């Protein structure tokens, strides 16, 4: 959410930003906010003047009564009553105006960074850099669900009977691989100086409102019926919510945190061949990075965060690239964002496995997360978040990039301690041969 003072003083800049995000339907909101803000300030000014006059005049009543000038005192009482009536009207109007302003401010997008490429949707995202050589073996790579099933490691039919579409059972080596990746990610981030946290998996609506846009909430969040609680779609939500209404000492920043959590998402509109298997699901687990810092440090941390994810995947011998998100692909609260994509030998292209975002002071403004500076004055913090790893989607990249011609899967040295020392996972049958026969 923008600072209303900034919008008041720079309406054309805000409108231009809206145009860059291809949200022209929101342009009228800027003028509406300005009009409501003018009215709200007039109401506040009049109310303040009336309170001052009421206090001044009220003091005269006692003095007049003491002098026996009851008639004059009664006139002033009538004047005070008139002040009180008008003041009551204004005090009733003030919160209504502020609520109308807030409704509009909550949907006006944040100002994007000057470096963000301009484009309408994700087709306009720009590749930044590649890390590792994207190879395609001389044998076919089966669909990831078929690879998992060759290890007896995936049961979506039973999950469908138990919970419906979009859920899964991981079994045996696949379940162990899933947990191993998360454990390795935890230690990887701790070794980089981040503090490990396990947060609440449910949050209240005021936290939801503080960490995401209404459109995102509707598309993602599961509401707990009859309670003011939502299941988190990512631990970023509860991690940032931890600092709601807090004033943080400047000396305590930056806060560099890494959190584990299950994540729950509606995933509206999922469809197509790549939506089968465990690519797009309602429940998954994730190791996240969160930073709360001073405004001047935010871009430095942005660079460090996405680099952490790149380094993590490269340590598992998975080729990746970074993709700069264009203006139209940025969620409303984001200043700048990039995706980390892993190489898929089967699809012969990259696919998203994580996202890094600088949200500026948008979340901090909504949640009132402030920093007490060395000068004793308070200012808003900046917040950032990034995915370290999110299995089981990450398992797709892992299995495809480590699948051997005999159907086995190699385990990189970095992960072997978390897999009981195993160097190779041996399947019950060769998924490559089975796929060939099916064709």
Separation CA 311–CA 281 (nearest Å):
26
Give the tokens for residue 132: 């590792």
The CA-based diameter of the chain, rounded to the nearest angstrom, is: 110
Residue 319: closest CA among 136, 144, 129, 133: 133
Q: At what angle do helices 70-105 and 27-66 cross, to 10 degrees?
A: 160
- Enumerate residues 6+ apart whose C-beta is below 8 A from 195: 255, 256, 257, 258
Residues annotated in the binding site for L-serine, as ranges? Answer: 234, 265, 288, 385
Q: Are the beta carbons of 296 and 180 closer than 8 angstroms? A: no
Residues annotated in the binding site, as ranges? Answer: 234, 265-267, 288, 352-355, 385
Centre a 10 Å sphere on the Cβ of residue 190 and count the other Cβ atoms it contains.
Answer: 12
Q: How many residues does the chain have?
A: 439
Give the tokens for residue 260: 């584990």
Q: Cα–chain-centroid distance for residue 38?
A: 32
Residues annotated in the binding site for ATP, as ranges? Answer: 265-267, 352-355
Separation CA 148–CA 159 (nearest Å):
15
């Amino acid at each position: 959410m923008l600072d209303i003072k900034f919008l008041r003083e720079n309406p054309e800049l805000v409108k231009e930003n809206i145009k860059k995000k291809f949200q022209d339907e929101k342009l009228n909101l800027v003028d509406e906010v300005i009009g409501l803000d003018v009215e709200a300030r007039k109401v506040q000014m009049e109310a303040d003047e009336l309170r001052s006059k009421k206090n001044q005049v009220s003091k005269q009543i006692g003095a007049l009564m003491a002098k026996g000038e009851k008639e004059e005192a009664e006139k002033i009482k009538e004047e005070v009553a008139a002040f009180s009536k008008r003041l009551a009207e204004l005090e009733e109007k003030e919160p209504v105006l502020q609520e109308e302003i807030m409704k509009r401010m909550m949907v006006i997008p944040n100002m994007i960074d000057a470096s963000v490429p301009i484009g309408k949707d994700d087709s306009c995202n720009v590749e930044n850099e590649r890390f590792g050589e994207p190879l395609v073996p001389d044998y076919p790579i089966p669909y990831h669900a078929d690879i998992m099933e060759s290890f007896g490691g995936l049961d979506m039919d039973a999950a469908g009977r138990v919970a419906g579409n979009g859920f899964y059972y991981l079994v045996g080596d696949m379940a162990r691989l899933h947990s191993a990746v998360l454990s390795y990610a935890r230690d990887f981030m701790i070794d980089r100086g981040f503090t490990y946290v396990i947060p609440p998996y449910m949050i209240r609506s005021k936290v939801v409102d503080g960490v995401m846009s209404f459109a995102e909430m509707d598309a993602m969040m599961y509401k707990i019926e009859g309670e003011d609680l939502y299941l988190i779609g990512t631990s970023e939500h509860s991690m940032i919510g931890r600092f709601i209404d807090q004033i943080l000492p400047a000396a305590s920043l930056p806060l560099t945190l890494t959190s584990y959590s299950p994540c729950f998402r509606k995933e509206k509109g999922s469809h197509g061949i790549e939506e089968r298997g465990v690519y797009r699901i309602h429940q998954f687990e994730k190791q996240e990075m969160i930073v709360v810092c001073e405004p001047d440090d935010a871009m430095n941390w942005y660079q460090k965060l996405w680099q952490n994810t790149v380094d993590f995947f490269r340590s598992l011998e998975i080729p990746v690239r970074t993709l700069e998100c264009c203006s139209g692909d940025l969620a409303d609260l984001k200043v700048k964002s990039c995706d980390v994509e892993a190489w898929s030998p089967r699809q012969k292209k990259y696919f998203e496995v994580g996202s890094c975002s600088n949200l500026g002071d948008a979340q901090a403004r909504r949640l009132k997360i402030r920093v007490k500076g060395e000068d004793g004055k308070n200012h808003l913090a900046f917040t950032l978040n990034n995915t370290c790893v999110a299995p089981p989607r990450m398992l797709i990249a892992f299995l495809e990039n480590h699948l051997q011609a005999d159907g086995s899967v190699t385990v990189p040295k970095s992960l072997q301690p978390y897999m009981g020392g195993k160097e190779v996972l041996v399947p019950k049958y060769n998924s490559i041969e089975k796929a060939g026969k099916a064709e």
